[in-house]
């Protein structure tokens, strides 16, 4: 989230461009979900620009934003990490992948049966969906997304998990103060880290 429609639009365009570069530089097909993560984050920012312009509410832009944030990410991230992982690392990544799919299924049902509402609060947007068992689902969400990255055998993905975890904490604190959200900045940093991950040298590849 950014602090107004223009900031979201600018950040979304920049992050999406980084996503295009990440996908274009892809070397292995099984890295595609992680390489395409900046595209998803960029689309998220662009959708939120539409939410700002609509003044919040429960329109299609709000539903699209919540659909990416809630059901999509907890399944996308751990499955992407699992797919990209070396065979030796996969055993410990099955748990966050399974939890992510289960969490996404419950959140998809909630989104399909309950309206998603956005509200402008100072310089931030607040989103609400009537979700039962919220503490349990939040724990599952964090374990699936951040847990998968932090449990990865790839140090670049572990760094990405640490950056996203710090971003989540910072944005939560600023949102409670109804001050400007900094998530767009963390999304940009995360996208640069993904680009570095995509361009990483392969074992046995000579360094030039």
Please give the share of the chain, as a percent, with pLDDT higher than 90: 70
Segment 147-173, tens digit of pLDDT: 999 999 999 999 999 988 888 887 666
For 166-194, what is each residue's pLDDT tens digit? 888 876 665 554 444 567 777 888 999 99
pLDDT of residue 187: 86
**What is the sign of the dihedral through the CA atoms of 2, 108, 37 and 164?**
positive
Nearest to 90 by CA among 157, 159, 153, 27: 153
Query: Which H helix or E strand runs over 166?
Result: helix 155-176
Q: Are 157 and 149 in contact (CB under 8 A)?
A: yes
Is residue 71 within 8 A of residue 108, CB to CB? The reply is: yes
What DSSP assignment string belongs to 85-127? S-GGGSGGGHHHHHHHHHHHHHHHHHHHHS--EEEEETTEEEE
37 and 194 in contact (C-beta within 8 Å)? yes
Q: How buried is residue 144: exposed, middle or buried, by Cβ count under 10 Å (0-12/13-18/19+)?
A: buried
* Domain assignments of the chain as residue spans, ordered by start: 5-198
Structure letter (DSSP) for residue 30: G
Mean pLDDT (the chain) is: 89
How does DSSP classify residue 57?
B
- pLDDT of 208 reads 38
| Residue 96 CB partners (closer than 8 Å, separation 6+) | 78, 81, 143, 144, 145, 147, 148, 151
* pLDDT of 179: 44
The per-residue pLDDT for range 62-79, each reduced to its tens digit, is: 999 999 999 999 999 999
């Amino acid at each position: 989230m950014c602090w107004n429609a223009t900031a979201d639009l600018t950040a979304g365009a920049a992050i999406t461009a980084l996503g295009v570069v990440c996908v274009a530089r892809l070397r292995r097909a099984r890295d595609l979900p992680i390489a395409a993560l900046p595209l998803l984050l960029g689309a998220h920012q662009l959708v939120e620009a539409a939410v700002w312009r609509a003044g919040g509410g429960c329109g299609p832009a709000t539903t699209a934003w919540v659909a990416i944030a809630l059901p999509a990410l907890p399944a996308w991230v751990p499955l992407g990490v699992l797919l990209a992982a070396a065979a030796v690392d996969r055993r410990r990544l099955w748990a966050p992948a399974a939890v992510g799919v289960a969490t996404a299924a419950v959140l998809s049902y909630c989104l399909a049966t309950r309206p998603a509402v956005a509200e402008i609060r100072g310089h931030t947007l607040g989103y609400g969906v009537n979700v039962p068992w919220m503490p349990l689902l939040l724990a599952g969400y964090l374990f699936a997304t951040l847990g998968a990255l932090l449990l990865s055998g790839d140090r670049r993905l572990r760094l990405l998990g640490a950056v996203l975890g710090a971003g989540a904490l910072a944005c939560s604190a600023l949102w409670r103060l109804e001050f400007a959200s900094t998530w767009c900045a963390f999304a940009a940093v995360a996208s640069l880290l993904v680009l570095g991950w995509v361009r990483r040298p392969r074992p046995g590849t000579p360094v030039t």
